[in-house]
Structure 1
Amino acid sequence: MEDVNVNVEYCNKCGYLYKFEELVQHVKERHPTVNVNGREGRRASFEVSVNDTLVHSKLATLAYPDYDDLSNIIEEVQEGKPIRAPCKQQPITSCIIA
């Protein structure tokens, strides 16, 4: 089983710390040995890398990563498969156009 490191850059000013904590909980439930690290970063960011490969960018998609798909990517990497990117994204539900 391959070692897997997940790094998340998030915007704390935007209140994304709770989304990072939610992601950590989800990943650790399925993959307790995975290292998940977070750091405060650029405004509006929620960038997720697996073993230093960017798999999701909120700056590019305006959405959060789909945690189940991220878990599948982690599982594939643990099995020795190449990193698949991009990760699927969660539906955007907070945008209202009037």
Structure 2
Amino acid sequence: MPSKIEVEYCGTCGHKAQFDELAEKLKEKIPDVELSGREGRRGSFEVTLNDTLVHSKLQTLAFPDYDDVVLAAKEADEGKPPRTKLKQQTITSCIIS
């Protein structure tokens, strides 16, 4: 049974671009994934896997690592329960002026 992933993202903040990037990666690696996204709360990027919240930008202030979202979805496809702690993206450039 394919994983069901729902993403709530902040449209005001422009997080739809991040949703589109995650969606592309998921569809590339798991073609039969059930994926939906919708605009939601300000600052949000909340990822739910099979009705379990697996990442909250509102709590962590970071986006999830997309490869880890794919891995978690593959594990769920194998019958494992969704992990509730996913890796976060690391910021590779920081400019302090």
Q: TM-score, normalised by structure 2?
A: 0.92
Report how far residue 92 of structure 1 moved.
Answer: 3.6
Alignment CA distance shift 1:93-1:61 (3 Å)? farther
The answer for the alignment partner of 2:89 in structure 1 is 90
Equivalent in the alignment of 1:76? 75
> What is aligned with 2:48?
49
Compute the RMSD of aligned alpha carbons. Answer: 1.5
Which structure 2 segments of 5+ residues have no match?
Answer: none
Change over 3 Å in CA distance of 1:95–1:16 after alignment to 2: farther
Deviations 1:24-75 (A, max 9, x none): 0010000000011000000000000001100000011111110111111001
Aligned match of 1:11: 10
What is the CA-CA distance between 1:97 and the residue it aligns to?
6.2
Identity level (%):
57
Shift of 1:93: 5.1
SS at the partner of 2:59? helix
Query: What is the number of equivalent residue pairs in this alignment?
Result: 97
Report the 3-state secondary structure (helix = DSSP H, G, I; strand = E; otherwise coil) of the residue aligned with 2:73. helix
Q: How has the CA–CA distance of structure 1 residues 40 and 95 changed in structure 2, closer, same or farther, with 3 Å as cutoff?
A: farther
C-alpha separation in 1, matches of 2:36 and 2:21? 13
Which consecutive residues of structure 1, in runs of 5 or more, have no partner in the other structure?
none
